[in-house]
Amino acid sequence: MDDTTTRPFRQFYKAYGMAPSAKGEAPGRVNLIGEHTDYNDGFVLPTAIPQKTFIEISRRSDDQVHLFSSDIGPDGEQHSYRLGSERPLHRWFDYFQGVTWLLRQKGFAISGFNLVAHSDIPMGAGLSSSAALLVALFRTFRDQFQLELSDVEIALMSQDVENNFVGAHVGIMDQMASSLADRGTALFLDTQSLNFERIGLPDNDVDIFVINSGVKHSHSTSGYNTRRRECEEACRLLGVKSLRSVENLEDVLKIADPFRSRARHVVSENLRVIDAVKAIEERDLVTLGRLMIESHASMRDDYKISVPEIDLLVKIALSHVEVYGARLTGGGFGGSIVGICQHGTARRICEAIADRYQRETEYHATILVPEAVH
pLDDT, tens only, 313-334: 999 999 999 999 999 999 899 9
H and E: helices and strands count for the chain: 10, 11
- Residues 9-35 have pLDDT tens digits of 666 666 666 678 899 999 999 999 999
Amino acid at 116: V
- Residues 42-67 have pLDDT tens digits of 999 999 999 999 999 999 999 999 99
CA pair distance 23, 175, nearest whole angstrom: 19
> Which of 38, 174, 207, 302 is an active site residue?
174
Q: How high is the pLDDT of residue 124? A: 83
CA pair distance 202, 171, nearest whole angstrom: 28
Q: How high is the pLDDT of residue 216? A: 84
DSSP labels for 130-163? HHHHHHHHHHHHHHHHT----HHHHHHHHHHHII
Q: How high is the pLDDT of residue 7? A: 57
Q: In 221-345, which ranges are continuous DSSP H helix?
A: 224-238, 259-281, 285-301, 308-318
Quick one: which of 219, 214, 224 has its CA closest to 134?
Answer: 219
Give the SS3 label for residue 306: coil
Q: In 162-223, which ranges are continuous DSSP H helix?
A: 173-180
- In this prediction, residue 310 has a pLDDT band, given cuts at 50, 70 and 90, of very high
- Residues 152-191 have pLDDT tens digits of 999 999 999 999 999 988 889 999 999 999 999 999 999 9
Instruction: Output the 3-class SS for 80-91.
Output: EEECCCCCCCCC
User: Which residues, other chains included, contact 226 with Cβ-Cβ below 8 Å and sequence gap of 6+?
Assistant: none
Q: How high is the pLDDT of residue 283? A: 97
**Residue 328 · residue 310 · CB < 8 Å:** yes
- Residues 236-266 have pLDDT tens digits of 999 999 999 998 899 999 999 999 999 999 9
Average pLDDT, the chain: 93
For residue 275, indicate whether it is catalytic. Answer: no
Question: Which sign, positive or negative, has the C-alpha torsion 58, 64, 69, 73?
Answer: negative
- Residues 192-244 have pLDDT tens digits of 999 999 999 998 999 999 999 999 875 445 688 899 999 999 999 999 999 99
